[in-house]
Structures are given as C-alpha cells and as structure tokens.
Chain A
Amino acid sequence: MKTNKIFISGDEAVAQGVRLSRPHVIAAYPITPQTITVERLSEMVEAGEMDGEYMHVESEHSAISATMGASAVGARTFTASSSQGLLYMAEGLHYCSGGRWPVVMMNANRSVALPWSIYGDQRDSLSLLDCGWIQVYVEDAQEALDMIIQAYKIAEHKDVLTPMMVNLDGFILTHTYELVEIPEQKMVDEFLPPFQTPNKMSFEEPKNLGFSSKPDDNTEFKYQQNEAMFKAVDVIREVDQEFAEKFGRKYHDMVEEYRCEDADVVLVALGSVCGTVRVVVDKMRAAGKKVGLLKIRYMRPFPEAEVKDLAQRVQAIGVIDKDISFGYEGTVYTNVNSAISKIDKYVFKSNFVGGLGGRDITKAEIEDMFNHLLDGIEKKSEEKVEFFSLNVETND
C-alpha cells in the first residue's frame, strides 16, 4: 500500500479526518484546545479542498443547533468543542441523540471551571455520558483521524442513527505532533457511502420532526434510543473490521487488551494515559510481574461484556479516572464496577483519581498503582477513591 505520512498534531489529524469524510456543513465555535481543528477546517474550505458550508456560529449552543438542523435535511455534519463549550451544548446534545441525528463531533477533553483551567482531564465528556451520544476515546493522532472516518459510518448506520463524540485529551493529544498516515480520498469514499436517513425533512416526503410525545409513547422512544445504542456495539465491530481490511489499522472494537492474557492485575484507562501505562506494563512484565492494561475505547455503549470477561480472568482491577463525581467516585470506575458486580467472582478493585486540570500522570505513579493492586490480591478488601497525585498532606 502506498503511504502518505505527515507530521501533524491531533487537532490537525481530526481536521484531516473531517475533510476526508466530506461533511456538507461544519458549525463550530473556538475553544482551547480544540481551536486548531476549526482553523484548519476553515483553511481547507478557503483553499477549496472541501465543498462544505463552514458556519461561523456565535456559540456552541448554536453550533449543535445548526448541525442538527442541517442533519434534519439530510446533510452530513461536523462540530467540535471542549469543556465549557461542550457543557454549553448540553441541551443540544440530548436533543440531537433524541432526534436521532448522527452528528459527529470532536471533543478536546479539558477540565471544567471553576477553577479555570485550559488543560486536560475528562470531566467534560464524562459528566455528559447520559446525553445519548456514542463516546469513543482515542490514544493518539492516528486513531483520532481514523475514528472520525469510522464515526460517520457508525453513527449513520441505519440501526444506529445516533450522534458520536470522538474524544481526545487536550494538549497531550490535540497539540502533540506525530507522524500520521493520511488515507487516500478515493479509499475513504469507497469506505464511507453518502449519508442516507429516513429521519429528515424533504419535499418528496414532507415530515414533522422533533415532536412531543405523551407519556403513552415517550418510554418507547427512549427504549428505541437505548436499543440503537446496543446495536451500535455490533456496528462498531463491523466497521472496525472493514476499516482494518481497507486501511490496515485495527483498533480492537470496544476495548483493547494489552498484555492481559495471563495477567493477575489490570489497570483500566481511557485515552492518552494508556500510552504511559503500556510503557509501565512492559517494564513490570520484564521484572516478572503479571500486569496488563485494559484500554476502554467506548464509554457509550459501555463494553460490559469485555469488562466482565476480563474480570473473570484476573485478581485485581484498578481504574484510573481523570474525573471525579463529587461525593462518590470516578465515573469510569462506577461503570466498570457495575459490570464486575454482575459476575460471581470476587475481584479486588481500586479507583485512582488524578490527572485533573492537566496534571501529569507519571510512570512512577502508575507503577505504584500496579503494586497497590498486586498487594490487594492478598488483602481482599475494597477501598475508597484514592486521589493519587495530591501535592500536599490531607486531613485523612
């Protein structure tokens, strides 16, 4: 296969993925660390490399509204946001999934004010898990580009028709330059057919969209949405397989196991930190410790089967959360723990909360986590959330 590799940032990789997917309408509002994506897209439109309409909306609420409107006449759409902007869209996010409009968006994961911070964590998207969007978390720029293309195919599938959010860690991924393979337009066109949907207004078949339903019917519409999300699991597999056959890169569907085959303990993580965990796994494996990584790619639909399957095989599971649901625990942990609770086996579990507001998660910290889990196998006791990287003493 002919290769075309260029040195670009995660944000730029997203823009390339969008260009190749040929959306009709792009509507986005700038916010660090997403801005480079929308700047590149604007340049591509200006340079005639893209035919789409680029809308200069005055807010994120309008960005999501505009993309929904365009989708509602059968156009393929893209938006991008982060943090405060994503939260400002919240009303529209629910509206969009309820409307079954397969908008694709990139979210640059960033901390949420207050205190202000432009740096990364995953509290923005994880606090919106329930808004009905498919959520995927990527680990590098190549995966970001590839997942934008896959996202359209998954979201627009007739059994799915659900919007999809491609999450990449702010700065760590958005602003880091990597060598990225840019697929050929022709191949992307073969992979991604034009958008078709029954859920649109047209002059051939006029429709009323976005209606209200009485209590008699509302549950059924919500059931449908849930069903579509579950059907997405199969579609994600099919699309990933087809993508691998076409482009030679496979992303292991819902989760990726790294050196988990005979592992005693496993760390579960999302996004860029997985890269660091891999390095630590290799090091500890070399020292004879049976550790592994479960990279969760999709938070919605949730990879319940995969988590249960892994839990059957290991003694201890730790979850790294770059978020905290105040007064309880990390959201990823809550989800993982719920899956584990459905098997008839005791597994030692720990929740590591950190990396908030852009703080690095170091190899040493990850090694500590693994050691903590290895110790836990014997202890047989569950523990409460641990903020693993506090710089000061606490009252506990």
Chain B
Amino acid sequence: MNRPKHTEFTFPTHIDDYPTGPQYKAGYLPETNAGWRTFRPVVDHDACVYCLRCYLLCPDGTIIKDSGQIKIDMDYCKGCGVCAHECPKDAIEMVKEQL
C-alpha cells in the first residue's frame, strides 16, 4: 500500500486492548484531515504537463502520480495551496469548499 488509508478505530474497552506501552502500527490513520480545508485544489488536466512539481512539494504527500495523470487524495489534503502556487502552468486552482 503506497499510502495508508483511513481506517476505523475500535476504541479500547478493556485495559488489555491497549498496546503494551506507547507502540502502535506504523501508518495507522483513524482520522482524515479533510475537515481542515477551506479551499480545495482543482486540477485542469489539459493544462497540466505532468511535471510533478506539485507532487514533489505537497507537504502532506496527497498528490498521486502513479497513473500518468495526477490525482489528489482528498481525505488528507489540507488545502494549503502550495500545489497551485508552485504549478508553473497554473493548472491547479484553489476553489472554496462548499459547506
């Protein structure tokens, strides 16, 4: 799995449900970060030249490059806007989230 996926967490009900000491599975994500966004990146695939600058610089690693066309994991995008700001072709636009 390239990116850990959002996983439901069962809250411990017995003391033995806790790990022995502070240790847990690497890459375990019971929460998403989508709720942080006020703007969402929208990609214009015609303008995108697949240079991958956005992929390189996303602080959250949410840009996916494996299919020849960039995709964004909207569960974990925080809407910082680095991708749009850094895109040399202005192919990404930050659009206000509708609540």
Contacts and interface: CB of A to CB of B under 8 A. Distances in A.
B20 interface: yes
Contact of A221 (B21, B25, B26): B21
Contacts of B15: 220, 223-224, 227
A211 interface: yes
Contacts of A225: 21
Contacts of B7: none
Interface in B1-30: 12, 15, 18-28
Contacts of B27: 206
A208 B26 contact: yes
> Which secondary structure dominates chain B's binding surface?
loop
Given A223-B15, A224-B15, A227-B15, A98 B22 contact: yes
Contact of A98 (B18, B21, B25, B26): B21
> Which secondary structure dominates chain A's binding surface?
mixed
Interface string A136-166: 0000000000000000000000000100000
Contacts of A383: none
A286 interface: no
B20 A198 contact: yes
A213 B12 CA distance: 13
A100 B12 contact: no
Nearest to A197: B20
Contact of B18 (A161, A199, A209, A220): A220
B26 A207 contact: yes
A76 to B, nearest CB: 17
Nearest to A159: B20
B21 A161 contact: yes
Nearest to A217: B18
Given A208-B24, A211-B22, A224-B18, 11 more contacts: A98-B22, A100-B22, A198-B23, A206-B25, A207-B25, A208-B23, A213-B22, A221-B22, A223-B15, A224-B20, A227-B15
Interface of A: 98-100, 161, 198-200, 205-213, 217, 220-221, 223-225, 227
7 contacts: A99-B22, A198-B19, A206-B27, A213-B22, A217-B18, A221-B18, A224-B15
